[in-house]
Amino acid sequence: MTFLALLTKELRLRMRRERTVWVVIVYVLFMALLGVFFISRYANTNNGYYNSVELSQAGTELYILLSFIQLFLILFITPAFTSTSINGEKERQTFDLLLCSRLSSFALVSGKLVAGLANALLLIAAALPLFSLVFLFGGVSPTQVLSALLVYIITTVMLGTFGLFCSTLIKRPAVSTALVYITAVLWLIVPLVLYAILASTGGLQPSPHWPPLLFIWNPAIALYSTYAISGNQFYAFADIKVAPWIAYSMLNSIATIVFFVLSMWTVKPESLRKLRARRNQHRQKNATFP
């Protein structure tokens, strides 16, 4: 079996499932209903009449609502596509067949990853027509939408790669899925909580141009930095000024490479045996020399 054969098999299995179709339909309908509800509520508060400024404000607020909802849905849905890729094969007792094929570690991991990310990227692509409707109102530039799209893709790839790594490291699919979901929630919430605690105690002095480094790897803050209302915020490294969403994308790219390499190393049984043997030796040494 080659990489293309594995990828074709995985895509056929995933795309033929009835669940995949319903996930896309429910995903798009949910975001569309939220947009319709927002527009109708906004129209009622303005008696159905708008001027150019109100239209621009409505478009900006609608875009912010849809973009954050999409980010939260990505964080909620993506782990389900990759966190059971490897240990699911082991649970079905089909992983040995993959090991007996001519697949290398790179081909096995990349095939599983691309097939898993295809579902998540399909959801992002399916929601793009909804975002194009925002241009009818104004207030949002194509550059902002493209920057937000890059944040979505980078977040999806990093979270999917981390889920794949957990599936190679943990035997039970339910445990690996729960771990990825918990990590995604902590990834989103912990920096905000720490900032609130430090700001309330006076440990942080907010700056209009320099966001705290706590937020450099937070997806919500990276998405917010793509909006025009966020102002001209940047991180200063020596004489280089980097926008928060660019710094976020660079860190996620590095993390994606690290998790991908670790997945390649742990996907083969010999690597896991060596890891467990070193752990057992370390425990024996600690037990012998208290």
Higher model confidence: residue 277 or residue 22? 22
Which whole number is the average pLDDT over 158-175? 91
**Percentage of the residues of the chain whose pLDDT score is greater than 90:** 19
Tell me which of 13-27, 170-184, 261-275 is least confident.
261-275
CB of 81 closer than 8 Å to CB of 119: yes
pLDDT reported for residue 289: 47
pLDDT reported for residue 182: 93
Burial of 115 (0-12, 13-18, 19+ CB in 10 A): buried
Which whole number is the average pLDDT over 241-252? 88
What's the whole-model pTM score? 0.83
* pLDDT band at residue 231 under the 50/70/90 scheme: low
Measured between alpha carbons, how far is 70 from 80 in angstroms, rounded to an integer? 16
The total number of residues shown for the chain amounts to: 290
3-state secondary structure of 242: strand
State the alpha helices, DSSP H only, in the chain.
3-15, 18-45, 52-77, 79-82, 85-91, 95-100, 105-132, 142-169, 173-200, 219-224, 244-266, 269-288
Which residues, other chains included, contact 138 with Cβ-Cβ below 8 Å and sequence gap of 6+? 52, 55, 56, 59
Which amino acid is located at 70 in the chain? Q
Q: Check whether 31 has a pLDDT greater than 70.
A: yes
Measured between alpha carbons, how far is 91 from 94 in angstroms, rounded to an integer? 8
